Amino acid sequence: MECLFNRFEDVAKRQRWTLDEKLDEILPRLQGIAGEFVYGQLNRDTRSDYKSLCKELSNRFRIVETSKTFWVQFSHRNQKCGETAEEYAAELKMLYDKAHVNRDKETRKEDLLRRFLDGLIDDKARFHVEFIKEPKNIDEAVFQTVCFQETKQKKRSYNENIRHILTDSDNSDIECDVARIAPGKNKTRLIKKEVNSVHENLSNKIETNDMDKLREIVRAELNALTAQQNQLEFHKSCNTAPKAQFMKDRSHTNSYIKSRMNNDRKCFYCHDPSHIKRNCPKLQNMQSQITEQCKMPSAFPSQSNMHKVRENHAYTNGTQLMSQNHSNKGSENQWHHQNNTNSYSYATPGSCLN
């Protein structure tokens, strides 16, 4: 809106229009949203006064922009896709001039150049311009950027032309061969047939090569799988044989241990192998006698009686043990007695007791 008013005021000054003439020129040109606002919301007195009309239009359509907003836009402005270097530089200059009106020239050059180089999309162009050409201001940077981009485009077009010429030479070779083989015939049909045959041959070769490669890949995979299977079977056979032998030995040792435990088991009280201490009848009889004596109040056993009972039981147990030992060692004593009659004499149980 500000741009429109500035343009209109400059034209009015050159034409030396009065306020009424300005009003006559501006009212027919108000269209769209501005026309709806003027002719729909403003009264006749406001529309008939040029200054009040301009004030209402500026209040309605103005955009609040300060130097800070322009500086923020400038600091975040980068080159857009499809935007040329010239357009990008012009936009940066406009934003910088609105943000800093009274900035000195050297600072303006440095800020514009730095922002232009940082915002370029083409990284190669930025590196080339910044570190090789080293421009002093934004105008030199724009010139070097455009030259670099045009040089790149020329190289691309040159490579494309080389490829195109090569394809044309191939077609011309085919045409020469056709003209030499079949002169006077329709060249287009023969060329099409020749080209189709060439494409078919190439496709067949490609298919055969692909099939051969696939066969080789499948064979390699099958060989790898068979090798893995053989290796697994070998490890399985090696692992099962020791495991079976180990289980067999383990069962044998367990049975041997159980048999030894059954053979060596005996009572801890009377040393009888037929039962254990928990089921010993002698110990149970002694405990029952002690409990009966404890229950009788008149014949409560004294400490001396308890000692006598224990001594009697110990004596009976000792005699039984001695008899068992004599029966076990009888054969050994007889052998010693036969061989050493002069040096040993057989000891009887009576002598041992005496």
Whether the CB-CB separation of 175 and 187 falls below 8 Å is answered with yes
Examine the domain organization and report whether 42 and 110 are in the same domain: no
- For residues 180 and 347, give the distance between their C-alpha atoms in angstroms, rounded to a whole number: 139
Token duo for residue 279: 């089921």
Is the residue at 99 inside a domain? yes
Examine the domain organization and report whether 134 and 113 are in the same domain: yes
Q: What total number of domains does the chain contain?
A: 3
- For residues 75 and 72, give the distance between their C-alpha atoms in angstroms, rounded to a whole number: 5
Q: At what angle do helices 330-339 and 303-328 cross, to 10 degrees?
A: 50
Is the residue at 210 inside a domain? no
Is the residue at 17 inside a domain? yes
Examine the domain organization and report whether 32 and 112 are in the same domain: no
Note the pLDDT tens digit of each residue in 115-124.
Answer: 999 999 999 9
Examine the domain organization and report whether 81 and 144 are in the same domain: yes
Examine the domain organization and report whether 46 and 74 are in the same domain: no
Is the residue at 208 inside a domain? no
Is the residue at 195 inside a domain? no
Does the CA dihedral 128-130-135-137 come out positive or negative?
positive
Examine the domain organization and report whether 102 and 132 are in the same domain: yes
Q: What is the pLDDT of residue 206?
A: 60
State the residue for tokens 């049909």: 189
Owning domain of residue 106: 67-155
Is the residue at 272 inside a domain? yes
Domain stop point among 155, 182, 211: 155
Assign 82 to helix, strand or coil.
coil
Note the pLDDT tens digit of each residue in 280-323.
Answer: 888 888 888 888 877 765 444 555 555 555 666 555 555 555 55
Examine the domain organization and report whether 50 and 74 are in the same domain: no
pTM over 0.95: no
Domain stop point among 155, 181, 205: 155
Is the residue at 53 inside a domain? yes
Whether the CB-CB separation of 145 and 125 falls below 8 Å is answered with yes
State the residue for tokens 């287009």: 188
Examine the domain organization and report whether 42 and 73 are in the same domain: no
Examine the domain organization and report whether 19 and 87 are in the same domain: no
**pLDDT, one tens digit for every residue, the chain (354 residues):** 677 778 888 999 999 999 999 999 999 988 889 889 999 999 999 999 999 999 999 888 887 778 899 999 999 999 999 999 999 999 999 999 999 988 899 999 999 999 999 999 999 999 999 999 999 999 999 999 999 999 888 766 655 555 444 444 444 554 455 444 445 444 455 555 555 665 666 666 666 667 777 788 888 888 888 888 888 887 777 665 555 666 666 676 767 666 666 666 778 888 888 888 888 888 888 888 888 877 765 444 555 555 555 666 555 555 555 555 555 455 444 444 444 444 444 444 444 333
Is the residue at 214 inside a domain? no
Examine the domain organization and report whether 85 and 113 are in the same domain: yes
- CA distances (Å), 290 to each of 47, 126, 144, 299, 318, in order? 136, 113, 123, 11, 20
Examine the domain organization and report whether 73 and 114 are in the same domain: yes
Examine the domain organization and report whether 39 and 116 are in the same domain: no
